[in-house]
């Protein structure tokens, strides 16, 4: 996968496929750019799945706290 000025170039077994990026999709371009840069740098991406696990843990603990009427402790 390669990000170009206004399109994404995807290598397939039968050649390349080009996807055009509209202005509305510019935020997706930034996310894909970060993802590809993280892969190239061999580092976790900005939106790493482990951060999502932490967020889910916090939300789950808050819901349980409301149900049980007790304060919550977050462990991770």
Rounded Cα distance, 48 and 46, in Å: 6
C-alpha distances in angstroms, 18 versus 4, 6, 44? Answer: 10, 10, 27
Query: Are the C-beta atoms of residues 71 and 65 closer than 8 Å to each other?
Result: yes
If one compares 35 and 17, the residue with the highest pLDDT of the two is 35
The two three-digit tokens of residue 40, written as one number: 């190239």
pTM beyond 0.75: the answer is no
Which of 10-14, 17-21, 40-44 is most confident? Answer: 40-44
- pLDDT tens per residue, range 22-71: 655 667 777 888 888 888 899 988 877 888 888 888 888 888 888 998 88
pLDDT of residue 25: 62
pLDDT of residue 75: 67
Report, in this order, helix, strand and coil percent for the chain, each rounded to 5: 50, 20, 30
């Amino acid at each position: 996968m390669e990000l170009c000025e206004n399109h994404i170039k995807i290598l397939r077994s039968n050649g390349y496929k080009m996807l055009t990026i509209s202005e509305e999709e510019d935020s997706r371009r930034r996310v894909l750019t970060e993802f590809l840069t993280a892969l190239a740098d061999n580092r976790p991406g900005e939106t790493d799945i482990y951060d999502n696990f932490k967020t889910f843990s916090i939300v789950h603990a808050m819901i349980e706290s409301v149900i049980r009427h007790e304060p919550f402790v977050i462990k991770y």
